[in-house]
Structure 1
Amino acid sequence: MNSRKSTIWLAFIGPLSFAILIAYILPLFGELAWSVTLPERGLQSYIQLTNDDYIHSVVFRTIRVCSIATIASVLIAYLLAYHWVFGPPVRRKIVEVAILFPFWISILVRTFGWLMILQPRGVLNEVFHLNDILQWLGIGEVRLVRNEFGVIVGMAHFMVPFAVFPISAVMRQIDTRILLAARGLGAGPVRRFFHVFLPLSMPGLVGACFVVFVFTLGFFITPTLLGGGRVVLIAEYVYTQILVTPNWGVASALSVFLLTFVGLMVWLLMKITRIERLVA
């Protein structure tokens, strides 16, 4: 009986394990090998990472842009999740469509859509005359694309639906009787939110921040198109080093650094927030 169960287990798990080995483990070891063998054996690529000021600027820009995009995505997702869980039926349906509809549109189409909206001759300026209004107010012309603002807008728009799900999952587990009890004890809406509801929904916020930040670290299409070559993040820099320069050793070393950074961040979050409870 045990051998039969083992055979069934291998029949289902074996192909998946083999696929993971081929698709992830072998390329990972390839990256590790390239980082210490190209262009020659040694740690020259890692030494260049520590000494190259341009690489430092790319890394810090990536962390800054991804952090801002994460904050924006999670704030918007929190509002959507609240109305999705606690809103009236009609509002819940509208929010649900707004959350699920972006999954049917490719990231390339969405990025080009934002490019058409934000560019100087785009919808905001041609239809709503945004720059004319800003000039009338004395602010002057504002560029909304080919800069960090445009990249953050595109990244946040893509990541909001992914942030909604962990937040809404935690909100659905909140016992509304606790909020009623706080109201009965004299707590106003603001106090109920900050002292009762927000702490109870904090695991969802932490999970959403983790998911969004990790995803945005690997963004390539959105920063390339909306950044216009002026906002180079790690993924675009690695692509350039592999296919344009080519400098595979530095690209591999930077990929290993990014993977290590994400792994340490996951470990730290699990230690501090016990995020494993979210998937238990």
Structure 2
Amino acid sequence: MRPVLFLICPVLLFLGASYLLPFLGIVQLSFTDPDPGLAQYGRVLTEDLPTGVIWRTLRLCVIVTAVSVSCAYVITLLWVRGSPLVRSITELCIMIPFWISVLSRAFGWLSMLSNRGLLNTWLQDLGLIDSAIQMTRNEFAVVVGMSHYLIPFAVFPLATAMRNVDERVLTAADGMGASRLRIFWQVFLPMTASGIMGATLLVFVFSIGFYVTPALLGGGQSVLVAELIYLWLFQIPQWGMAAAMSVVLMLGVGGILFILMRRYGEMAK
């Protein structure tokens, strides 16, 4: 036991110095700037601007998580259970996004979805629309950009779960006369529940802290928590409010993760 603790101690010290101490500094700032007390938390939880941004962030993150995990599930099926050619093409499509920065991807979607972008231009050239459709500076663009970035991250926990599926169970279901659709819904999908949960947690946590993609594609019309914190830090100096919002965000995400993980633990039993 002691050798294990000896090996773990450096990791714990590193994590404490890297994450815990800065977070405690933020907590202290939230209680002391500009005046000591709970006033900043009261404003964060009662004023229209911060509460509206919090609910918008949670709503969009839930949508992005659902879209990303659903798309990733289909892609992972092709990657794990497709033909060799399909697996190779799918694997290439999964890996390529990791070679492109989040900023480049956001600008790519901006050029695709803007009023003079490729999509509107094609639709107008084909005569399908008379005037450009507003597809940027709104929540639609934010969901598209964030989902595109997060889908590859959701693939890996899903792939692990799918590769661990016992083929003998699927063969037994097929031998008992079950259709492919029934095998998928009643056998394969429940057996990959751990991968779905892992992908959901990963994508949701990542999406909560997004800044670049919502800022560019939302155009200031769909401000999320991370962008509001940036504004309070660097454009409208309210460091106490920014710190309080950060603490509320941290506690909120931790609470959601705890509930989801406990719920999944009950389902696994």
Q: TM-score, normalised by structure 1?
A: 0.90
State, as a whole percentage, how many aligned pairs show the same letter: 42
Given the superposition, is the C-alpha separation of residues 185 and 85 from structure 1 closer, same or farther in structure 2, using an over 3 Å criterion?
A: same
Equivalences for 1:1-280 in 2 at 5 Å?
A: 16-129=11-124, 132-135=127-130, 141-274=132-265
Over residues 202-244 of structure 1, what are the superposed CA-to-partner deviations in whole Å (9 max), with x where a residue is unaligned? 1111111111011000000000000001110000000101111
Which residue identity does 1:120 align to in structure 2? N
* Structure 2, unpaired ranges of 5+: none
Matched residues in 1 for 2:194 and 2:203: separation? 14
Partners of 1:192 and 1:142 in 2: CA distance: 42
Query: Separation in 2 of the partners of 1:59 and 1:130?
Result: 40
Amino acid at match of 1:63: L
> Distance between the aligned counterparts of 1:263 and 1:72, measured in 2?
22
Change beyond 3 A, Cα 1:274–1:45: same
* Aligned 8 A contact 1:125 1:131 in 2: no
Instruction: Structure 1 unaligned segments of length 5 or more: list them.
Output: none
- Secondary structure of 1:133 counterpart: coil
Whole-Å Cα distance in 2 between the matches of residues 235 and 176 of structure 1? 44
Hey, which bits of structure 1, 4+ residues long, moved more than 6 A? none
Shift of 1:142: 2.4
- Contact in 1 for aligned 2:75/2:155 (Cα 8 Å): yes
CA shift at 1:266, angstroms?
1.8
C-alpha distance in 1, partners of 2:16/2:122? 52
Which range moves more in the overlay, 15-24 or 43-52? 15-24
Matched-pair contact (CA < 8 Å) for 1:124–1:130: no
Give the drift of 1:23: 2.2
Instruction: Decide whether the 8 Å contact of 2:124 with 2:132 is kept in 1.
Output: no
What amino acid is aligned across from residue 49 of structure 2 in structure 1? Answer: Y
